[in-house]
Each structure stands twice: as structure tokens, then as C-alpha cells.
Amino acid sequence: MFFLPILLLITGSYYGFKKNRHDIADVMWSLWFVAFTLSTASLFLDQLGFQAMVIIGMIILWAARLSLHIGKRFGSKKSQDKRYVELLKHTGSITKFFKVYILQALLAYVVLTPVTVFLISGVKTNGLLFWTGVFVFLAGFLIEAISDRQLSKFLQSSKKDSVCDSGLWAWSRHPNYFGEVVLWHGIFLSTLNSVTNLWTIIGPLTITFLILKVSGVPMLEKTMQANIKYAKYIESTPMFWPKKPSK
């Protein structure tokens, strides 16, 4: 299965260039993790134990839900997402290829560092720490899944400039991203089989940085700046860390 990342790169980028839909990268994002995980696992089949299988299952579960969720949104659009139009303005094909597909693959590989090191080592994590990580992952996974579901349901019947401020969205302006950060820290805990591997926290820290400072929260907050209702929402709801609503 070592060929999976290459296959994903070729098929994804081919579609993106042929259809001028480089926002296919959003769908590809979670699939990179499955491709890299299965590729690494295939090289160390003789040392894959119960913990490794659970971790691989966690990656597949997360990736399957997220890719289907984003894929549904991708399929509902007839043209390229405005974010990519702006990002790739005045760029040639080679620049687009590296800026979208290669960069995304590299970032995914860095975020996946804890899993890669764990699978290569073949060493078990302390039982309590492992199951604590699994619990944290499941908590984050449910927060993200429920948040996405609530927002999708809201958007189906909402009017223009309406703001989703109920459910988990009353606790945080970006509960889905909060869940994403939590689940990756859970994966880190479940793979921490040695003190010497503490450095692999670079994985969850990278996704946290990307979400809070680069392509997640800042980008969405910017698109909502002109919305008066969102300005009121900002006053009553924390940006990221959940807080119980006052009402």
C-alpha cells in the first residue's frame, strides 16, 4: 500500500486541473492521512498489535466522516471555491501543483507524525495513557461531527446573513475546529509510547496552528466581518474555547 499517497496525488491533482476545481484538495485533506497511515503500516505488518489497529481505525473513522462531509459540500458547488480562486490568482500550473497538492501532503505528513513514529517503533503505549488518548479522540470526534451536522442542518433552512448560534455553536464560534484540535491531541496521547517521543507533539501543535492562525478560524472570521448579526455573535460567544452560554 506504499503507493497510496502517489495514487492520491495523481488522481486528485489530475481532477483539479482538468475540472479547474482545485478545491478538491479540501476533500483530499483527510484522505492523505489514510494513505500515509496505511502505507506505513504495510511496511511493518509483523509488529502491528491491538493498539496499532485501534489507532489505524481512529484515523480511518475520522477521515471517512470528514471526507464525506466535505465531499457533499464540494459536490453541491458548480464552480471553484472563492478561497482557491483568490489563493491561485495569477499562478501557473507548476505553482498551483506545489502550492495546493504538494504543500497539503507535506502538512498532513507532519500532523501525522505521532502515528507514523508509533507504527514504526512497534512499542506499546502505557494502557492508561492509551485509553485516555482514545477517550479524548472520541470526545473531539463527536464534538466535530455534531457541530458539522448542526451547521449543515441550519444552512438548509437559514436566510441570508443568518448566524448559527444554537447547539454547540452557542458555546463556541468554531466548535468543529475545537473538536478537530482535541481529537488530534487524543491521537498524540494514545501513541505516546516513550518519553523520548514527546517531540511528536509537533503533530497536534501543527494542526492547532493551522486552524487558529492560518486557514481555519482566521479565514472564516474574515468572510463574516461585514455581517452585523455575526458582530453581535462575537460579543456573546468565544471564538474557540467553549464557554457555557449566558442564556
Give pTM, 2 decimals.
0.93
**pLDDT surpassing 80 at residue 199:** yes
- Tally of CA atoms within 13 A in the half-sphere of 112 that contains its CB: 29
Q: At a CB cut-off of 8 Å and minimum separation 6, what does 141 contact?
A: 61, 62, 65, 179, 183
Q: What is the pLDDT of residue 78?
A: 85
How is residue 3 written as a grid cell?
503507493
Same domain, 60 and 130: no
CA–CA dist 121, 132 (Å, integer): 20
**pLDDT surpassing 90 at residue 224:** no
Same domain, 163 and 247: yes
CA–CA dist 147, 170 (Å, integer): 11
Same domain, 60 and 137: no
DSSP for 120-131, please give it.
Answer: HH-PPPPHHHHH
Same domain, 118 and 41: yes
Q: Which domain holds residue 117?
A: 1-123
Structural domains counted in the chain: 2
Q: Cβ of 33: how many Cβ atoms within 10 Å?
A: 21
Q: For residue range 120-142, what is the model confidence (pLDDT) as tens digits?
A: 999 999 999 999 999 999 999 99
Same domain, 31 and 97: yes
Q: What is the pLDDT of residue 215?
A: 85
Same domain, 239 and 168: yes
Q: What is the pLDDT of residue 138?
A: 98
Q: What is the pLDDT of residue 129?
A: 97
Same domain, 183 and 219: yes
Same domain, 7 and 41: yes
What is the phi/psi pair of residue 164, to 5°?
A: -75, 110
Q: Considering only residues 184 and 235, tell me which one the structure prediction assigns the higher pLDDT.
A: 184
Cα 50 to Cα 34, 61, 112, 193, 198: the distances in Å are 18, 16, 19, 14, 22
Same domain, 129 and 245: yes
In this prediction, residue 209 has a pLDDT band, given cuts at 50, 70 and 90, of: very high
Same domain, 111 and 129: no
Q: What is the pLDDT of residue 175?
A: 97
Same domain, 87 and 102: yes
